[in-house]
A and B are shown apart, each in its own frame.
Chain A
Amino acid sequence: MIGEDGPRPRIGLVLGDPAGIGAELAAKLLARTQTSALAVIKVIGDARQLAAGAKLAGVTLPAVDVDDRANADPAALPLGRVSAAGGRAALENFRRALGLARDAQLDAIVFTPFNKQALRLGGMTFDDELRFAADFLAFSGPHGEFNVLDRLWNARVTSHLPLAEVAKRLSVPRIVEAIALTDSAMRAAGFPAPRLAVAALNPHAGDGGNYGREEIEIIAPAVEAARTNGIDARGPYPADTVWLRARAGRFDGVVTMYHDQGQIAIKLLGFERGVTVLGGLPIPITTPAHGTAYDIAGQGVANDAALVRAFEIGVDMGRARCSAAMRD
């Protein structure tokens, strides 16, 4: 498993929703010459679907290990349509990958986009794949979702929560935990000492307490506590300038207080290249931030930039993990 740049991690490439652009993207990724040089890849999904994806992409697949689940016959599953069968297949592929990871046969999982509605129809009872994975792995430690754009990471302290609940949900321990989780996930992804910016909650960071006291009472103490723990965290910074600082290269990651504080900026900066990382779990999991793109499925025009980036991050995180395992 030792490649030119150290060990080649074992990556499970999970085929997601079969009605979208996933198989086409997977084929494009596999056909890139550097892909197999970086990792030992196992495709988990229906082999016929992968072949159909290669045909759409107009690429010749290299020899690749396929764990053929024979669960999503392209002839029976039309592109561009939500189906329970599609959701079931995607879920089974994901479950299979998590099982292999649990049995220490994979170092990271990369999946092509899921369709949430199809997953629900296909039997998923969790709100999202993060909770599904944590439950499957029986993992209850700190874990969370990160958005990565190029080399800039974003984590959020609260996520899918009504805006009216956000301020009530903030606490020093919660923010300290989010900062620590971001720091450890980014170290696992190859940042030796990530420089983190912590966003404020209120406009102009509360303007010295004039519009909200959370910066003074909660966020600043949390940043201080994180720094005491050896994390290079700074802030709180006003939300309207924190992204300008990050874009200028002054930070590697931004910890935001609520969903849209990060999502608006990340999507504006480059939605098509964004990657979602599920971090903190026993195995790193990455996926493109974009969806199944039913509107362009079957046309062969899908852009694989985000999947390539998801794969690269999966390789970095998987390599750190398998290096650590080899040292043990």
Chain B
Amino acid sequence: MAARVPVVALTSGEPAGIGPELCAQLARDALSVRVVLLGDATLVAQRSQATLPAYDRAAGPRAGMEVLHLPLAAPCIAGTVDPANAPYVLALLDRAIDGCLHGEFDAMVTAPIHKGVINDAGTAFTGHTEYLAERSRSAQVVMMLVGGGLRVALATTHLALADVPRAITRAGLRAVLQVIDRDLRMRFGIARPRILVAGLNPHGGEGGHLGREEIEVIAPALADARAVGIHAEGPLPADTLFVPQRLEGADCVLAMYHDQGLPVLKYASFGRGVNVTLGLPFVRTSVDHGTALDIAGRGRADAGSLREALQLAVELTQRTALAA
């Protein structure tokens, strides 16, 4: 029996940003999967000087890129965001999510969006990750970054550093570890994932002298996780955790906050990191950069991160299918 060709939904994101041109660049790659680009077909054609075939759901399995046309709400100038197009950006996401939930698509890959303009348009929006969780009714999602041979998951994401310690709870960490463990097994095909967990404070709190969260919150959460068969080690001082000897044999690092984990990944991946959302009922990956409004529409943007994101989505889809 011939293997089914995976179908990946690719949302082109903020129309004024580099998303549409990056997506169209991938159409020139030798694609092994069917990529359905969600966006305004005219806009994509303008930004890429290429015409892609229209998406035909009924067409048989075929590799390559097609456009699922969803119209812009207002004319768009590269580099200039317009709140009038916020509903368009959300419509791309909604269509991709619905398709993933109903089996039309196997995975979704997202180009960058502009959070500010969606909020300006009156929709409270924290980020892709939170939006996907809500729309798919997922109780616990985890943001993980992959690149440069590393996988780094975050216990907290976009909040002020002063609010981080309060946001880390024993039950929350336990749930995060369960999601990481499950998705590493199910989607990454790792039989027994080994997760290294960072401390919160300098030197891992140094036995309580530099903060007590390691003792009172993190260590008990790790004990809970181990009790249900999760291989989680820590809490480990964050400054020595990322040196290569320490990472040997580890499948993932769980960082307590955004800037504890991301700088390392950016350094290791040379700007080619991929953001993966764990805990969703489908595979979702994304670039790890923004809309780059300053260079949008000039054809100068580097599709490296998006290409990696698509590649990873395909791998995870295939592994998930094997595990099922």
Q: Which residues of A contact B (CB under 8 A)?
A: 159-164, 166-168, 201-204, 206-208, 210-214, 238-244, 247, 258-261, 263-265, 267-269, 271
Contacts and interface: CB of A to CB of B under 8 A. Distances in A.
Contact of B203 (A160, A207, A238, A243): A160
A240 B210 contact: no
Interface stretch (B92-100, B260-268, B297-305, B306-314): B260-268
7 contacts: A202-B161, A204-B158, A207-B158, A239-B262, A264-B242, A265-B264, A267-B242
A164 B200 CA distance: 9
Interface in B123-170: 157-166
A240 B203 contact: no
B124 to A, nearest CB: 12
Nearest to B258: A203
Interface string B157-194: 11111111110000000000000000000000000000
Q: Which DSSP category, helix, strand, loop or mixed, fits chain A's interface?
A: helix
Contact of A163 (B211, B239, B267): B211
Nearest to A262: B239
7 shortest interchain CB distances as A-B pairs: A212-B160, A162-B211, A263-B239, A167-B162, A259-B202, A203-B258, A239-B259
Given A259-B202, A263-B239, A267-B239, A160 B116 contact: no
Interface string B79-121: 0000000000000000000000000000000000001100000
Interface string B221-249: 00000000000000000111011000000
Contact-residue bracket for chain B: 35 or more
B161 A167 contact: yes
A243 B165 contact: no
Contacts of B203: 160, 259
Interface of B: 115-116, 157-166, 200-203, 205-206, 210-213, 238-240, 242-243, 257-260, 262-264, 266-267
Contacts of A208: 116
A203 B158 contact: yes
B160 A202 contact: yes
Nearest to A166: B161
A125 to B, nearest CB: 15
B118 to A, nearest CB: 12
A198 B271 CA distance: 21
Contacts of B200: 163
B264 A268 contact: yes
Given A160-B210, A260-B260, A244 B161 contact: no
Contacts of A244: 266-267
B239 to A, nearest CB: 4
B263 A240 contact: yes
Contacts of B165: 162-164
Contacts of B115: 207, 210
A239 B238 CA distance: 15
Nearest to B165: A164
